[in-house]
Copies of this chain bind each other. A is one copy, B any other.
Amino acid sequence: MSAEQQSGFTEIRRRGLMLVLSSPSGAGKTTISRMLRDREPDLQMSVSVTTRTKRPGEVEGIDYHFIPKIEFELRRNRKELLEWAKVFGHYYGTPRAPVDAALAEGRDILFDIDWQGTQQLKEHARQDLVAVFILPPSMLELERRLKSRAQDSAAEVARRMAKATDEMSHWAEYDYIIVNRDLASSLEQVHAILRAERLRRERQVGLNDFVKGLRAGL
């Protein structure tokens, strides 16, 4: 637990939270995540394990932990994954241990996962979860953003557009909705959500003793 609100007589500590950002590819989620972590260096990114091959520029342990399928299945069967999914034939999952440690120590964790992962996280940890869905302003704009990624082929763009339509049907399962018209505003909005959620009564541990102290005249 971090000491967010200290006092001479009683310490109020904070339980960490799990900030989930979901959106179709191209809606801006990855850029917003990066900018948010620049502002909040203590915000830890959850690093997923995956069985897909590394893309150019990706770094083991930063973007993903790249593991063989047999290891993935072993960890999944041992319940060491908080959530997992199969997307385009590859497995993706979230290791449980680093998340549990961070929450207990009052550190927040950022998740860049899809609606399937979010649903599974909800089952495990509803009270620690803050789920944000980012929508594109229009499909034309989404397509423009996907096409500007030099690395993706026309077939990949078409596949992502189709997947976007599916992904967006799950917006109503999220706590907060942001339409990403410009990055600066969207970043401010996600940041406000993070800062506000930290102040929720349930996340502040020791408030009861703090107020007892006040009421005793301290």
Which positions in A face B, CB cutoff 8 Å?
Answer: 5, 7-9, 12, 135-140, 165, 168-169, 171-172, 174-179, 181, 188-189, 191-193, 195-197, 199-201, 204, 207-208, 210-211, 214-215, 217-218
Contacts of A168 in B (CB 8 A): 211, 214-215
Give A207 to B172 CA distance when docked, in angstroms: 9
Q: A135-B214, A215-B165 are in contact. Are A189 and B199 (CB under 8 A)?
A: yes
Give A188 to B135 CA distance when docked, in angstroms: 26
Closest to A170 in B: B211
Q: A7-B179, A12-B179 are in contact. Are A171 and B138 (CB under 8 A)?
A: no
Give A140 to B9 CA distance when docked, in angstroms: 12
Give the Cβ gap from A171 to chain B, nearest Cβ, in Å.
Answer: 5
- Can you name 11 extra interface pairs (CB under 8 A) apart from A5-B181, A168-B215, A171-B207? A7-B138, A9-B138, A135-B214, A136-B214, A138-B214, A169-B211, A174-B201, A177-B199, A192-B195, A192-B196, A196-B196
Give the Cβ gap from A40 to chain B, nearest Cβ, in Å.
Answer: 13
Give the Cβ gap from A150 to chain B, nearest Cβ, in Å.
Answer: 24
Closest to A164 in B: B214
Contact between B178 and A199, CB atoms less than 8 A apart: yes
